[in-house]
Chains A and B, each alone.
Chain A
Amino acid sequence: MTRRYLVIDDNEEFAENVAEILSDTGADVCLAAGGRAGLEQVKAQRFDVVVTDMKMPGMSGAELVRLMRDVDPGVPVVLLSAYAQDSQLDEARRYGLLAFLNKPAGTPKLLELLARARRDATVLLVEDDRALAENLTEALSSQGFTVCAASTLGELDGVQIKPLAALVDLRIPGGADGIALERVRARFPGTPIIVVTALNADPQGLECNMEVLRKPFDTQQLVERLEALAAHEQTS
């Protein structure tokens, strides 16, 4: 099936270049010069991936992702920025990103990400260890999964998308051990939960739709598990 992409950037030359490259791969590409116009397009059509700039007049990329989640929660988003550490990046990560890339991103890398992107495959990642969270995000992105990242209880409450699965660290700041787990279960009943723990003993309160992953774990194994969940989701 023909892939359909939306490219949003106020830098017209850049947006047109990306569109041209993507069209060459046989995809349908739409362009928008800003967040508002982009949002209208997302309302009107179903895209396989949205590529957006972070810093745009009127509406930032982060704000756009937040609003887009109300219209199409399952669309993968690649956020591009000329800024390495954007203050709004963490916010955008909470709304769910396929990836964040620095400009100039390297076209081959961008093409590979877009080709592998899966719709409706968001993984909720509740983890406060930044290094681990970043590694997992990168591994999951490269396999086409969108990651919704929360590192505190407060951030967890801001998550809007219903995830395919949740990866939950038992210890995150903002509450006692295990509260994050309860919160995820209450918010997204029925969602498979993978508990990430450094403890040896099984944590309390485990239920049938939960699995335990002990640190350090094999990322490949985790990715395979998620792929199985995604496949199951599609058939059902």
Chain B
Amino acid sequence: MQVVFVLFQELQRYIGFTAADEVVLQGLHSKLQPFFPAIVETFYARVLEHEDSRAALTRGEKHVGQLKGTLVKWMNELFEGPWDERYVERRARIGRVHVQIALPQHYMVSAMNVVRVGLRERLSQVMAEGSKEAHAARDAVERICDLDLALMLHTYREDLEAGQARAERLATFGALVGSIGHELRNPLGVIETSLYVLKGRTTDERSTKHLDRIGQQVTLANDIITQLLHLIRERPLASTRVDLSELMTGTLASTAPTVTLDVSPGIHVEGDPTQLRQVLVNLAQNAVFFAGESGRVEARLHRAEAGLVLSFDDSGPGIDPSIRNRLFEPLVTTRAGGIGLGLALVKRITERHGGTISASRSTLGGARFTISMPAIGATP
């Protein structure tokens, strides 16, 4: 049984929510249902009044209209039951969603109060004030509201703590990577200078070939360290007007000429051209690698409702299910010889530009990576 359901049962006993309350709620359902839309209107009017909660809600993809529908459904469930494990799971999800959209926790308490007051007012309209039934009805409504709120707050806290623990793990990882990376640069410095001396003193063709090879590997090792350090460090983000269409066409022409381009001209963003270029190069290199020599890669950049949409499609084998959930975490890779920093860096840079990235199945058969990002001149 789920831990959260056990908690729910404990809370029921504590609050005194019994089978009798369930019967009362089910009886009230048909009487109160006509008022649900009005309560929902008040609810969202209140939510949208406040800067923080409005920002959190409108950042999400769903429109307020959709959210209102969800709230009516929620109220139906509140009175209809059954108050079983699946009910608890649906309630728990609400807490999680609120963590995801970064809605401050206290808004859940105030929002629940708006619902509570709305229901109480309507109750007094449909039942005789002071009657025994009215008492029982009010108690049942208060109890179920308390229970729902407790569930949401519980899962909210649980998710928030899990997120913090993950952030701490990444910070530890970052500190470790940082010190190892830096320490490796000292021996690389010695190797590089020794190579310089040797190259000047070698005329033998085979020795020269191998010295060059060592030199290339030193450069590669240093590049890997640099990428790792970029990943863990908040590199200051330059903020200039970047013609992303031009950047994309130019970058891909020089780094991945086999990619088929479909780019709308003149899409500008506010951001860091070097880091945006890194996003394009990493996504293109991955796609080209997985598509293989005979495969296809298509890259697109177009305007979208809230900015721009940029995507890479490949005809490769698609995303390995074993890493699907951790695709954007550092050190996760299925690329032979890859160290698993490319996508982590892409995600980091995308988010620092106010964008989001997702992976899905491509119509070409392989993977599709889609980035949505604010653009200059687009109406958010």
Q: Which residues on A are within 8 Å of B, measured CB to CB?
A: 11, 13-14, 17-18, 20-21, 24, 80, 82-85, 102-108, 130-131
Contacts and interface: CB of A to CB of B under 8 A. Distances in A.
Interface stretch (B81-89, B93-101, B105-113, B190-198): B190-198
Given A21-B196, A131-B238, A103 B233 contact: no
Contacts of B196: 17, 21, 107-108
Given A24-B197, A102-B185, 5 more contacts: A82-B189, A103-B185, A104-B218, A105-B189, A106-B192
B183 interface: yes
Nearest to B201: A24
> Max chain A CB contacts within 10 Å: which of B182, B226, B236, B238?
B182
A177 to B, nearest CB: 24
Contacts of A82: 182-183, 185-186, 189
A24 B197 CA distance: 9
B190 A11 contact: yes
Nearest to A20: B197
B226 to A, nearest CB: 8
A82 B189 CA distance: 8
Secondary structure call for the B interface: helix
Nearest to B196: A107
> Max chain B CB contacts within 10 Å: which of A18, A106, A107, A108?
A107
A127 to B, nearest CB: 16
B314 to A, nearest CB: 33
A104 B217 CA distance: 13
A11 B186 contact: yes
A10 B219 CA distance: 23
Contact of B233 (A80, A85, A107): A85
Contacts of B186: 11, 14, 82, 103
Contacts of B218: 104
B229 interface: yes
Contact of A14 (B193, B222, B236): B193
A104 B196 CA distance: 12
A206 B194 CA distance: 53
B127 interface: no
A115 B192 CA distance: 20
Contacts of A17: 190, 193-194, 196-197
A103 B189 contact: yes
B130 interface: no
Contacts of A83: 182
Contact of A104 (B182, B189, B200, B236): B189
B188 interface: yes
